[in-house]
Amino acid sequence: MDNPKDAKPLEMPPVLAHVQAAVDKLAACETIKAAIEAVKRDDEKTLVDQIAITEVEAPPFHEEVRAKDFVRRLEELGLKASIDEEGNVVARRAGKGNGPTLVLAAHLDTVFPAGTNPKVRQEGNRYLAPGISDDARGLAAILQVLRTLQEFKIQTIGDILFVGSVGEEGNGDLRGSKYLFNKSGIHIDGFISVDGVNVNRVLCGATGSKRYRVHFDGPGGHSWNAFGTPSAIHAIGRAIAKIADLQTVSDPKTTFTCGTIKGGTTVNSIAAHVEMELDMRSAGAKELDELEARILPIFEQAAKDENARWGYKDEDGVKLTLEPIGHRPGGGQKDEVSVLQAARGAMAALGIPLYSYAFASTDHNVAVNKGIPATTLGGGGKEGFNHNVKEWYEPVDAYQGPQLAMLTSLVLVGVEGVSEPVLEKRA
């Protein structure tokens, strides 16, 4: 998403002194300065990577081919890379030792089904292909960070774990990120995802969501002959009416909607089945759980009320099935969190104004929910029609993306002889 034309830099308290000190030391270091320049010099190289990655299909739940390609690219740049059980590509660039571990990630998957033509087409300075921005740009940006660290033999203190994640989009339900934090056994102290292009935006929090497909099934019957039989549609109507009047807190923002509904077969039949998709979201993890705990019993009660209305026992009447179809954990972070501070410090040093400081739902959700400092940064350039086959990318000041990802990472993990890590080691 581009910035609005009248975007103004946000006014925020200054970056914490120890973070600013680390930024200043790195910005004054000749090697780091040269590395930052090299990212700009390699702008075309990053774009070539981006186009090549785009043309390797990565449909939802089938990122294998792109994953193997990404392993090869990381290994060509000198890292040992592997694919974990969930399908994530993971490659560690070791620090000097005893430092924190930062993940620098971008997601492998696109929203496009297998068979969608991924061939990139150029029109002037615009490159068009499904997924070219989201998130081939992020993958190319973190490769460029690695290329530069390797070229300048920058010895970090902490480790940087380069990750190509699976299942960030839609029904992928953050499965790659969830595996990384919940099952991989890898110790992680901080997390940066490069997703989208906007370098003027720092994502400071994670919108959590829980989604259910709610089914009601009943005996059904002819509207006249079987009148007196509980109706699946009547039952769900009872639930929706109550949900419609729920009040939620505005801070942290907490929302709900009954998004889709379908049921019944003919106008003159008592509906035997209806299903509805429910979306619940919150910027607060606790508030999301509370909302869920308020809404789910409403469905159970609605079935009971509908059955009682007609004198039916629950076992003979309308029955409820709750099918979870999505859970993106969420939460907020303090502005003082190291990853957010490092990102803002790096932006200032690179002359990139901060226009937006916001919540969204990305791979960083899982980290934020677990209290691990995390953000999502833009990969640089301009984009349009994301999640649409007309998706396009323009490499306008594109190098700012990998520059920002690199400098933020270095502030966090520290550079030997230059700066101490800002990222805290977790217990």
Of the ranges 80-88, 144-152, 176-184, 264-272, which one interacts with a second copy (CB under 8 A)? 264-272
Alpha helices in 360-399 (DSSP H): 364-369
Pairing of strands 121-123, 190-194: unpaired
Residue 102 vs 270, nearer CB to a second copy: 270
At closest approach, how far in Å is the CB of 423 from a second copy?
Answer: 29
Confirm or reject binding of residue 82 to a second copy (CB under 8 A): no
Instruction: Indicate whether 251 belongs to the interface with a second copy (CB under 8 A).
Output: no
**Which span sits near a second copy by CB under 8 A: 90-98, 113-121, 207-215, 342-350?**
207-215
Question: Does 237 participate in binding a second copy (rule CB under 8 A)?
Answer: yes
Q: What is the smallest separation between the CB atom of 230 and a second copy, expressed in angstroms? A: 9
Distance CA 215, CA 300 (A): 11
In the bound complex, what is the minimum distance in angstroms from residue 113's beta carbon to a second copy? 16
Neighbours of 105 (CB within 10 A): 33
- Looking at the Cβ atoms of 102 and 278, the one nearer to a second copy is 278
* Binds a second copy by CB under 8 A, chosen from 81, 270, 291, 407: 270
- Is residue 298 involved in binding a second copy (CB under 8 A)? no
- Helix, strand, or coil here: 52? helix
Report the C-alpha gap between 140 and 109 in whole angstroms: 14
CA gyration radius, the chain: 25
Gap between the Cα atoms of 137 and 401, Å rounded:
9
Taking CB under 8 A as the rule, does residue 258 contact a second copy? yes
Given the structure tokens 């969420």, which residue do they identify? 330
Q: Which stretch binds a second copy (CB under 8 A): 117-125, 142-150, 184-192, 248-256?
A: 248-256
Residue 207 near a second copy by CB under 8 A: yes
Tokens, residue 353: 């104004």
- The reply on whether position 260 binds a second copy by CB under 8 A is yes
In this complex, which beta carbon is closest to a second copy, that of residue 98 or of residue 266?
A: 266
316 in contact with a second copy (CB under 8 A):
no
State the minimum distance, in angstroms, from the CB of residue 34 to a second copy: 42
- DSSP-assigned states of every residue in 25-46: HHHH-HHHHHHHHHHHHTHHHH
Determine the interface stretch with a second copy among 36-44, 256-264, 289-297, 335-343 (rule: CB under 8 A).
Answer: 256-264
| Cβ atoms within 10 Å of 244's Cβ, excluding its own | 10
**Residue 272 is a binding residue for a second copy (CB under 8 A):** no
- Tell me which of 117, 151, 227, 371 binds a second copy, using CB under 8 A: 227
DSSP string, 99-115: S-EEEEEEE---SSPTT
Q: For residue 167, give the DSSP letter.
A: -
Q: How many CB atoms lie within 10 A of CB 289?
A: 15
Q: Which of 40, 126, 253, 304 binds a second copy (CB under 8 A)?
A: 253
Please give the backbone phi and psi of residue 410, each rounded to the nearest 5 degrees, phi first. Answer: -65, -40
Query: Does residue 309 belong to the site contacting a second copy (CB under 8 A)?
Result: yes
Q: How far apart are CA 352 and CA 350, in angstroms?
A: 6
Q: Looking only at residues 325 through 344 of this chain, which bind a second copy when binding is defined by CB under 8 A?
A: 325-326
64: DSSP letter: H
Could you say which of 98, 268, 315, 427 contacts a second copy (CB under 8 A)? Answer: 268
The interface with a second copy within residues 361-400 (CB under 8 A) comprises: none
CB 383 within 8 A of CB 196: yes
Counting contacts by CB under 8 A, is residue 219 touching a second copy?
A: no
Chain centroid to Cα 48, Å, comes to 25
Identity of the residue, 205 or 401, whose beta carbon is nearer to a second copy in the bound complex: 205
- Residue nearer to a second copy on the CB measure, 245 or 315: 245
DSSP state of 415: B
CA angle 298, 174, 405 (to 5 degrees): 135
Binding footprint of a second copy on the chain (CB under 8 A): 207, 209, 211, 223-224, 227, 231, 233-245, 253, 255-271, 274, 276-279, 281, 306, 309, 325-326
